[in-house]
Chains A and B, each alone.
Chain A
Amino acid sequence: MLGFLARRLALAVATVAAVVIITFTLVHLAPGTPMLGDPERTLVSPETVARQRALFGLDRPLPAQLARYALNLVRGELGESFTLHRPVARVLADALPNTLLLGGTALLLALALGVAVGALQALRHPSLWDTALSAATLVLYSVPLFWLGLLLLLVFGQELRWLPVSGMSDPALHSALSPLGRLLDVARHLVLPAATLGMVQGAAVARFQRSALIESLGAEFVRAARAKGLPERLVLLRHALRHALAPTITLAGLSIPYLLAGSVLVESVFGWPGLGRVAYDAIFSRDYNVVTACALVTGILVAFGNLAADVGVAAADPRVRLER
């Protein structure tokens, strides 16, 4: 177990390093110039741009810049944002918790919805219910995220006015609320973006869960459990479902990149101040340090999310041993 973890950790570190190097190189080689501002709005003289570039070391050869970035990274320094005039670490510290809150909630929602719907389908298989839910999950999985987000926003935000359409708190009231009120305020703002992300991913989980549970319900060990006279509820929860959870947990680990990528769209649609929006803005303003740092954080989350999924599968299914 420990050997497995050490090997996977080493692999994760190497993967993250490769992601950082590739991102750093690509973003520097991409056409476009940082620090030009918006010449359609404010004129920034070439001398000013040149001074700024020199200040941030962008006038040096790319390998030298990469070496300096790597050295700083080892020291725990992520540099300064060209456009926000702030340390990148602080920019990420502001945005990352919001993305984790949104992504985490969406993941939990996806798992809860997916497992429940998948189990319902498997238990009703074959039936009209199963067919209808299969069609519904397929449609939901095929829907573009931003389209679903805008649809929910128009219906529940603008028309019905049940839920706020943007941000993660009420701009005027939040600071005047009690701690519980603030929590509920954030929760209300979280509903639409988390539902958008969670529903689409939940549809994928449901389809996996249905197949896995149908297979489990016909397996030898389930028949043996029934033959021992265990109540059907225990057969289902303790044996069939637990076994069928393994592919779902793997899927949950694999869905972290999807949730992070999806958060770029969902955060933009709902004005959620997370990492996706920071990365999106940084790419368009060629804020190299922020783009590279976002890739670093995303790489870490994905690598360790997958590792956590492997450990989770082993916990759910005692037959799996972490020895590969």
Chain B
Amino acid sequence: MVIATTGDADVLLPPVTTTSLGSNAADRIFCRLAELKLDLNTVDDSGFRPVLARSWEHRDSTTIVFHLDPRARWQDGAAVTAADVAFTFAVYRDPAVNAPLAPNLAGIDSVTASDSATAVFHFRRWYPEQLYDATYHMRILPKHLLDTIPRAHLAGADFGRHPVGDGPYRFVDWQAGTEITLAADSAWFLGRPHIARLIWRIIPDLQTAVSALLAGEADAMEVITSRGQLERMQDDPAVRLVPYASPFYAGIVFNLRRPPFADREVRRALATALDRTTIVRSVFGPFADVAAGATSPMEWIWSDSIRQIPFDTAAAATALDARGWRLAPGRPMRSRAGAPLRFTLLVPTSSQVRQQAAVIVQDELRRLGVEMRIQPVEFTVMERRTVGGDFDAAFVSRTIDPSPASLLQFWGAGESNIGGYASAAFDSLASAAARARSRAEAGPLWRRALERLNDDAPAVFIFSPRNNAAIGSRLENVSIRPDDWLATVTEWRVRAAGDRGRDKAAGR
């Protein structure tokens, strides 16, 4: 199966890879102890299925014991042991490695090996997502191949370009900038995958990638975002679109440290003035949802019933009048004490859809008497300015984890709270939700936290795309887990009638 992708990988070593292709390929080579099931239930143990760990048990409120599957082997033949698990935790937490996911392991105090097949996770305190933290953020690494490499040099070590893993696929070849090839491991302990080879073909231009799919040169692509390209594919029998929930939402974040956004009522008025349904339909057609809040349809807390600020231009105008931002006779823009109601919105040049949406937002705000200047900036510049607080408003997007706890990262006291939003009520609700013992208990709390966020309007949440993977019509049994679109690729098949000569030459 040839997968079209737009960017090369950095390294095929899970703790340090930061690229989409790096993760996608490394995740096929290295396994987790357990995997989330398709419904992405991060709270209950029933949401997980065993992989390297055959079973697990909660010994007490701060200890989980994992019993490794004795059949699990590294691709060089060595057994996967509990020492590998403890080593992996040490690697991820070592500051010298600079693993981006290390902060997600803060709840774990230590990992020890009580025998070769039993790994014990000790947590600092009890919380419901202990199993999620223990299994989701780490892919187990081979201690016997990596422990001689200084941790600071791990990212640059040859292992990261010729990895040896314990997963369903073996590394075969990596031609920089061209392609990465993996082959199914016929000896994989959970059964040989049906598709013999995964080849990621790097095609930087999206138009070309779509052409490659339509020309039969590629079989799959993670997501098609452009409305025009989606419509092009809908009409072609060679490809089918497989919809799946998006882990992504986008919206306009206000900088609450700056006037006029320190004023909650002004923020609410701006949110009230935006017809988000029209914006989303104009830009995406049927291929996106209006964001219900700071979440996406991928998360189990998503609900259409989450309370949002309704679109009402008259109410928005009244609210601004009440706060002293009035339209003087003959003037197109509102002002207060001589200061115009004006701000600048940063939009990344890399996102065509956000630029299109920004133009509609600008028009809707102009009708309200608010001047919004659009400043397209290069992505890295936008990063620097938003992280540094140097902005009025920014059209940002977030790709979130299956765990709703990311809400606290972006809107709590975390460093990713770029707008400076602070609310004791929100923090209290979100913290209570994070401590809840079941989805039934946590769900209402998370949704109330989202509603509180919507009410305070530190951002206007605009859209969450309906993700569509492009899949060649010769592939079957395709299912997609939204956080990792190839998580179930071991179950995908090529229809016998869809075999091509090149499949046979490549071992199918």
Contacts and interface: CB of A to CB of B under 8 A. Distances in A.
Contact of B179 (A171, A269, A270): A171
B387 A39 contact: yes
A273 B176 contact: yes
A271 B214 contact: no
B18 A165 contact: no
A2 interface: no
Given A36-B383, A84-B176, A268-B205, 20 more contacts: A31-B381, A32-B381, A39-B383, A41-B399, A43-B100, A45-B415, A51-B96, A55-B152, A83-B10, A85-B16, A95-B176, A165-B208, A165-B212, A166-B201, A167-B203, A170-B502, A172-B505, A268-B204, A271-B204, A284-B378
Contacts of B179: 167, 171
A37 B211 contact: no
A42 interface: yes
A34 B161 CA distance: 22
B160 interface: yes
Interface residues of B, number: 61
Q: State the majority secondary structure of interface residues on B.
A: mixed
B62 interface: no
Given A43-B409, A271-B201, A271-B208, A33 B502 contact: no
A154 interface: yes
A84 B174 CA distance: 13
A168 interface: yes
20 contacts: A32-B381, A36-B383, A41-B20, A42-B18, A42-B101, A44-B18, A46-B415, A84-B10, A84-B11, A84-B176, A85-B10, A85-B11, A91-B176, A94-B175, A164-B217, A166-B201, A170-B502, A172-B505, A274-B177, A281-B7
A150 B205 CA distance: 10
A193 to B, nearest CB: 11
Interface string A157-185: 11001001111111111011000000000
A52 B419 CA distance: 26
Q: State the majority secondary structure of interface residues on A.
A: loop
Interface in A221-239: none
A285 interface: yes
Interface in B464-508: 502-503, 505-506
Interface residues of A, number: 60
Contacts of B338: none
B471 to A, nearest CB: 17
B384 interface: yes
B204 A176 contact: no
B98 interface: yes
B398 interface: yes
A131 interface: no
B126 interface: no
Contacts of B384: 31-33, 36
A161 B178 CA distance: 21
**Top 10 closest pairs, chain A to chain B, by CB:** A32-B380, A273-B177, A172-B506, A271-B203, A172-B502, A158-B211, A37-B18, A94-B176, A273-B178, A85-B155
Contact of A166 (B212, B214, B378): B212
A40 B396 contact: yes
A227 to B, nearest CB: 57
Contacts of B98: 48, 51-52
Interface in A278-318: 278, 280-281, 284-286
B398 A40 contact: yes
Nearest to A94: B176
Interface of B: 2, 7-8, 10-11, 16, 18, 20, 95-96, 98, 100-103, 152, 155-156, 160-161, 173, 175-179, 181, 197, 199, 201-205, 207-209, 211-212, 214-217, 378-381, 383-384, 387, 396-399, 409, 415-416, 502-503, 505-506
B402 to A, nearest CB: 14
A111 B485 CA distance: 48
Contact of B197 (A84, A86, A95, A172): A172
Contact of B177 (A34, A94, A172): A94
A167 B178 contact: yes
Given A31-B384, A43-B409, A164-B217, A269 B506 contact: no
B319 to A, nearest CB: 31
Interface string A128-158: 0000000000000000000000100110011
A36 B177 CA distance: 21
